[in-house]
Amino acid sequence: MYRLFYILRQGGLLLKESKKAVLISIIFLTIGFVAIGSSYIVGERLFASSLSLKSKVNITVFFKNNAEESDIKQSIDEIKAIDGVKSVEIIDKAQAKNNFLKLFPQYASLVNSLEQNPFPYTLKIWISNLELGENIKNLIITFPTVDSVVFSKDVAEKINNLTHMLWFLFVFIFIAVLAEFIFISQSITSLLVDLRHSDIKVLNLIGADRAFIHTPFLIVIFVSVTFSWLISIFVLKKVDLWSVEIVKSLLPFAEYSASINAAALYGKLFIFGILISWIGAIMPLRRVR
Amino acid sequence: MIRLKDVTKIYPNGTVALQKINLEIEERDFIYVTGESGAGKTTLLRLIHLDEAPTRGTVLYNEKPITKSFKIHNWRRKVQLAYQDFMLIEDRTVFDNITLPLQIKGESFSSIFDKAETVLNTLSLRDKMHKLVKELSGGEKQRVTLGRAVISNPEILLLDEPLGNLDKETAQIIMDFVEAVNEQGVTIVMSTHHMVSRERSAPKKIIKLKNGRLISKGYV
């Protein structure tokens, strides 16, 4: 227990002797924390919103008005069996008419005056993978009972692109921050090792083991990471608030999740910061003899 | 206890520091290592302290060779070397420097304070304990180095020219202290140009080196 106290004291002395270097590392580590935390928060919100939007994208099949109902039902069974079709919703002619009149009640007298119901038998299809949408559409159009098929390809493509871009961006930022943390902790430790080179030599000569020599440097890194993490939490709370507006402007018709699990995110960021920085710090410490 | 068997040390630049040294160091010995500058005295101490490895030959501890597989830090806790050039942490206090070996071992606060007080009083450094080492004179630094080497009660104490450039009074303080430490059972190997000894002190071994060779052994 006493030994732990002395090691902590050595860490404290090292920290006192290297205030400026620690301060600079805190600034850069904070930037890293904010970068990765912000990209996660905005990315998570965008991803959740794009999923809600994705669920709205479907293929709409309009059957021919003169097609027999039995043929239409057979076609529906065949469509259901197509690979990639997740679920379907059948809207018969009466339902289609009601839906139209709900939206445009001003045309009620006109529609009711017609001898035949002009609205076609309709089928809405949700698919498991938006990339299959175009193929499924091209297949369905060949059915003899089908009049036309509508698939909102643009929306599907935009959502797919957005999801890919989010992943790419997050992975890029993650790698950049990973490299930054390793670089900063490696540089600061190298600097401190150079500064305290003669002390390390003395400690070695009087029988200090690696734990006694190395741990103070790891304590300095721990303190730097903790301070930058605390500062970044303050910034990330603001980013969390602003991110809702950012997502709304990017995906205006999506549904928005109220909040992300901030405590879990901050916890993960802290563990990430400490582990990666220690890995960076151990590299120059391994050279200490 | 420690035996040097045919030990030769040649530095990378070709300097032959020691040649075929055979030496036995027994428990509680007090050995003076004498010789002119460049005779190999410091190299001999550094070999025993494992700062250097012999080019040829073996250093044995209790008849077991000391090799790289030895845990160096454990060995250096047993064998403390007080360096000629002090090897102190200049911007730390005297107390900090002297108690470092005890901090490394993880001794309790009370034990550290008790031992530090004894050593500081004996070496007349009590009033300097909170001073930074860089503010001390050469003689005071020499005493701090010695204090740090003995405070953890090592089995073997290696002293590299501890009396060099000291006035007679300080040299006497240090010698009295070293002899008292030896009487408590610590083996001493001390390289020196000149010997200062207490009257009626126990006989000491003396070896003389010349150009890296051991040319004489005897007692004083």
* pLDDT band with cut points at 50, 70 and 90 for residue B13: very high
Instruction: Report which of B207, B162, B203 is spatially closest to residue B22, judged by C-alpha positions.
Output: B207
CA distance B18 to B39: 8
Average pLDDT in the B40-49 region? 93
Tell me phi and psi for residue B172, to 5 degrees.
Answer: -65, -40
Which stretches of chain B are assigned E, i.e. beta strand? 2-10, 16-25, 30-35, 56-61, 64-65, 79-82, 156-160, 187-191, 205-210, 213-219
What token pair was written down for A66?
A: 């003169």
Going by pLDDT thresholds of 50, 70 and 90, the confidence category of residue B207 is very high
| pLDDT value at A163 more than 80 | no
Chain A residue numbers with beta carbons less than 8 Å from the beta carbon of B87 are 201-202, 205
pLDDT at position B70:
72
Q: What is the pLDDT of residue B189?
A: 95
pLDDT at A258: 59
Which candidate from B74, B87, B103 shows the least CB-CB separation from A205?
B87
Interacting residues of A286 by C-beta distance below 8 A, sequence separation 6+: none
The pLDDT tens digits of the residues spanning A46-66 come to 888 777 777 777 888 999 888
Q: Which chain A residue is nearest to residue B72, measuring alpha carbons? A: A207
Taking contacts as CB-CB distances below 8 angstroms, the residues of chain A near B77 are 207
Given pLDDT bands bounded at 50, 70 and 90, which one contains residue B85?
A: confident
Q: Nearest CA of chain A to the CA of B5: how many Å?
A: 24
C-alpha span between A90 and A61 (Å, rounded): 10
Q: Contact, A223 vs A15, CB < 8 A? A: yes
- What is the C-alpha separation between B5 and B206, in angstroms, rounded? 18
pLDDT digits (tens, 9 = 90+) for A234-264: 999 998 888 888 777 777 666 666 567 888 9
Q: How far is A53 from A68, CA to CA, in rounded Å?
A: 34
Q: Does A288 touch chain B (CB under 8 A)?
A: no
Residues of A in contact with B105 (CB under 8 A): 3
What pLDDT was estimated at residue A262?
83
* B210: β partners: B213
pLDDT in tens, A25-35: 999 999 999 99
pLDDT tens per residue, range B154-197 = 999 999 988 876 788 888 888 888 888 999 999 999 998 766 65
The 10 Å Cβ neighbour count of residue A151 is 22
Tokens of B153: 């009660």
DSSP per-residue letters across B163-198: TTT--HHHHHHHHHHHHHHHHTT-EEEEE-SS----
Whether residue A287 has pLDDT greater than 90: no
Q: Do A2 and B109 touch (CB under 8 A)?
A: yes
Specify the pLDDT at position B7: 94
Q: Do A206 and B80 touch (CB under 8 A)?
A: yes
* Residue A221, min C-alpha distance to chain B (Å): 21
Residues B144-162 have pLDDT tens digits of 999 999 999 899 999 998 8
Do A6 and B106 make contact, defined as CB atoms within 8 angstroms? yes
Beta pairing, strands B56-61 & B2-10: antiparallel
Q: Smallest Cβ distance to B106: which of A3, A203, A210?
A: A3
Whether residue A198 lies within 8 A of chain B, CB to CB, comes out as yes
Three-class DSSP category at B215: strand
| A212/B87 CB distance under 8 A | no
- Phi then psi dihedrals of residue B197, to 5 deg: -140, 150
Interface of A with B in 200-259 (CB under 8 A): 201-210, 212
Mean pLDDT for A182-211 is 91
List of chain B residues whose C-beta atoms are within 8 Å of the C-beta of residue A17: 91
Other CB atoms within 10 Å distance of the CB of residue A118: 12
| CA dihedral for B178, B179, B185, B187, sign (positive or negative) | positive
Which amino acid, residue B56?
A: R
